[in-house]
């Protein structure tokens, strides 16, 4: 395969190369890539902004993460934060730092994934930066969205009696990561052994190519349901519900039997000596939405197959509890991802 050294293009040549097919989709994009800064006009709506970093060796391993998937995921996880505010994504900036082990072709592959996510979620790439890194690959994305005035949803307005809801299924991404790490260890010991992951597409897909739940945000808006609090599940359900409880000054009860866990997740978790429940509670990187709603909206929520009611909000003095299928109570403890 041909290899073009990045230094042969220079910084501006590289940016021009990577953005030569960049499309503008949003009417709000007045000026995109190519000047000192971009210009956007949200026509009277409020702007929601989030930034995230992904660092090789900490957030991803290129031994089992295809660059195209990584580009897609870098966009998707940032758009997920906008969805958690009930905002509609509109723009991103993408900044990269990389060592000389990366070629122009490798970055082209990464950007294929970036553009695929932008196209799927109707988002414009409007800027960013590139620079060299002494080792490893560093990705920083800023995502921008819009929301009707004062319709954004925060983490701190959950009320006693509210229902706790989660989208999709939980714990699959964590199990996908465990599988890939196991296959990596086997490969390093014996490079001739080929992994067989055909029957495990769901959990591996949830890890390598998560999807922000813009579909659920749009459905909630159509149903005129405004969650009282909301966040995306990136650190694990237990950690993230505790964020909502702490910031809203409330307690919660979560029912083990109500947790949405895919059959593939349960099955593979058993191979690792884990329970599906522990993966759902502590796994992280699901990028599903966790939110609370008024009980008055229950009849609307049960119409959606994408949303599970998993518990309810209590007084703060009742603490944060998990009720098992046997009826036992356990204190919910944050055991998910820790950044430091």
Higher-pLDDT residue of 282 and 37 is: 282
> DSSP states of 17-78 as a string?
HHTTTPPP--TTEEE-BTBSS-EE--TTPEEEEEEEEEEBTTTB-TTTS-HHHHHHHHHHHH
Tell me: pLDDT of 15 over 50.
yes
Confidence of residue 214 (pLDDT cuts 50, 70, 90): very high
DSSP conformation class of 86: T
Does residue 196 carry a pLDDT above 80? no
Residue 63 has pLDDT above 50, yes or no: yes
Distance, in Å, from the CA atom of 243 to the CA atom of 138, rounded to the nearest integer, reads 27
Q: What is the 3-state secondary structure (H, E, C) of 260-298?
A: CCCHHHHHHHHHCCCCHHHHHHHCCCCCCEEEEECHHHH
What is the token pair recorded at 228?
Answer: 């009282």
Question: Which of 231, 298, 196 minimizes the C-alpha distance to 50?
Answer: 231
pLDDT of residue 340: 42
Q: Dump pLDDT digits (tens) for 330-340.
A: 999 877 555 54
| pTM strictly above 0.85 | yes
Q: What is the DSSP letter of 103?
A: B
* CA 98/CA 19 separation, integer angstroms: 17
Where in the chain do CATH 3.30.1330.10 domains reside?
A: 6-147
b/e sequence 150-174, b meaning 16+ C-beta within 10 Å = eebbbbebbeeebbbbbbbbbbbbb
Please, are residues 242 and 313 in contact by the beta-carbon 8 Å criterion? no
Share of the chain above pLDDT 90, in %: 75
User: Average pLDDT over the chain, rounded to whole?
Assistant: 92
Domain spanning 6-147 has what CATH number? 3.30.1330.10
Compute φ and ψ for 170, nearest 5 degrees: -115, 150
Mean pLDDT in residue range 224-246? 96
**pLDDT of amino acid 1:** 67
Mean pLDDT is lowest, of 39-43, 232-236, 244-248, for: 39-43
- Alpha-helix runs per DSSP H in 140-293: 172-189, 201-208, 214-222, 237-248, 263-271, 276-282
Residue entry with tokens 């997920």: 80
Q: Phi, psi at residue 40, to the nearest 5°?
A: -130, 150
CATH 3.90.650.10 residue spans of the chain: 163-331
Q: Which strands, in side-by-side order, build the sheet including 88-98? A: 46-55, 138-147, 88-98, 124-132
Reduced to 3 states (helix: H, G, I; strand: E, B; else coil), residue 120 is helix
Structure tokens at 339: 């950044």
The mean per-residue pLDDT over the stretch 143-156 comes to: 94
pLDDT at 37: 81
pLDDT mean over 294-302: 96
Give me 214's structure tokens: 């813009």
CATH annotation of 163-331: 3.90.650.10
């Amino acid at each position: 395969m041909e290899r073009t050294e990045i230094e042969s293009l220079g910084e501006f040549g590289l940016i021009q190369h990577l953005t030569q097919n960049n499309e503008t989709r949003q009417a709000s994009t007045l000026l995109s890539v190519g000047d000192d800064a971009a210009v956007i006009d949200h026509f009277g709506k409020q702007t929601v902004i989030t930034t995230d970093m992904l660092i090789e060796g900490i957030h991803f391993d290129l031994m089992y993460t295809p660059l195209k998937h990584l580009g897609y995921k870098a966009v998707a996880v940032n758009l997920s934060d906008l969805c958690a505010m009930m905002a509609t994504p509109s723009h991103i900036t993408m900044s990269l730092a990389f060592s000389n082990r990366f070629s122009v072709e490798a970055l082209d592959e990464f950007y294929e994934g970036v553009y695929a996510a932008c196209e799927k979620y109707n988002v414009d790439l409007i800027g960013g930066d590139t620079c060299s890194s002494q080792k490893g690959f560093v990705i920083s994305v800023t995502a921008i969205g819009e929301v009707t005035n004062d319709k954004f949803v925060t983490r701190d307005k959950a009320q006693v009696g509210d229902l706790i809801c989660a989208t999709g299924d939980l714990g699959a991404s964590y199990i996908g990561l465990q599988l890939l790490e196991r296959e990596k260890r086997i490969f390093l010991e014996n490079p001739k052994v080929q992994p067989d992951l055909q029957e495990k597409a769901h959990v591996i897909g949830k890890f390598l190519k998560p999807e922000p739940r813009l579909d659920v945000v749009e459905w909630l808006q159509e149903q005129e349901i405004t969650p009282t609090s909301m966040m995306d599940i990136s650190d694990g359900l237990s950690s993230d519900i505790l964020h909502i409880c702490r910031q809203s000054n409330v307690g919660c009860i979560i029912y083990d039997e109500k947790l949405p866990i895919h059959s593939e997740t349960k099955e593979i978790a058993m191979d690792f000596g884990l329970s599906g429940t522990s993966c759902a509670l502590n796994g992280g990187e699901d990028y599903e939405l966790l939110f609370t709603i008024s009980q008055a909206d229950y009849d609307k929520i049960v119409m959606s197959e994408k949303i599970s009611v998993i518990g309810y909000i209590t007084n703060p003095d009742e603490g944060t509890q998990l009720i098992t299928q046997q009826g036992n109570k356990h204190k919910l403890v944050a055991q998910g991802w820790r950044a430091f």
